[in-house]
Amino acid sequence: MRKKKRVIGLFFKQDREGFPEIADAIEAADYGAPAEFFRKEPSDGRVRLKPMDFAVSIGGDGTFLRVARLIGSRGLEAPLYGINAGRLGFLALGLPAQAVSDVSRILSGDYETYVRRPLRCEITSDGEGGKRFYALNEIAVTRGSSPRPVELYIRASRGELYNFLADGVIVSTATGSTAYSLSAGGPVIHPDVRCILVTPICPHSLYPRPVVLSENENIEITQISGGDAMSLSCDGTQDVKVPSGCRVRVTLDKKGVTVLRLGEDSYYEVLRRKLHWGEGAPGARDGAQ
């Protein structure tokens, strides 16, 4: 019986040195079964995608996040695997030298899957819907180019959460807890925890602290004072102006992005390696940090 051809999308910045060569190696390999590859830039724009069995991002976590947004915002169900040809690599865990063997393992079914739920965001005005956005890590609402802090009123589904003067606020998924939120003093949350994390950015008071909320909460952010338009970003990109008087509404999407895993190090081992936990600690030794 003839085997069905598998379709794989390769997403990477095609002008980056070394990235096309990784894609070339993946496409040239013999997997013992028919496979069709196509290449796309990891863009947030109107990129046309055809159905695929799975997607591979080649780059850093930024590329991984763009591809996740691209797949999720179009309602596709293609699982995603990341090859870390960038720097940090919390999400893209594959190594460039193992790219061909990793794709071979996925094609043979030797992988695990897990689902990471993204955020959906909408800017509204006078009760009317407006622009919609999508983020796997976080939605950040900040003072933008203004040198002055803004006064924010933040409400959850079950009542008022904050009213403070700050540089902004981050609404994050558990996946994004190791990104911008961590830099702003938020906690590390295991990605299997279904929740929403709200982290103030440089509040002008010691009292507003990061809060972990239920996955079912709806977060609404309103600018009380500050005058200038705020800025909204999704996973560190898509800088959008939020005019005074508008509201930013954020919810956890009910549909998640499926991520492929090949039995790499545990999440805790990745944390220790990427964040350098235990290095130089008194009594630390090889294999027991």
Amino acid present at 73: S
Amino acid present at 99: A
Q: CB-based burial of residue 270 (10 Å sphere; 0-12 exposed, 13-18 middle, 19+ buried)?
A: middle
Please give the structure tokens belonging to residue 251.
Answer: 């919810």
β-pairing, 138-142 vs 230-234, is: antiparallel
What is d(CA 169, CA 200) in angstroms, rounded to the nearest whole number? 4
DSSP state of 9: E
Please give the structure tokens belonging to residue 156.
Answer: 């959850």
**Which residues are annotated as catalytic?**
61
Nearest to 124 by CA among 243, 265, 263: 243
Q: CB-based burial of residue 105 (10 Å sphere; 0-12 exposed, 13-18 middle, 19+ buried)?
A: middle
- What is each CA distance from 23 to 38, 85, 213, 217, in whole angstroms? 10, 11, 41, 41
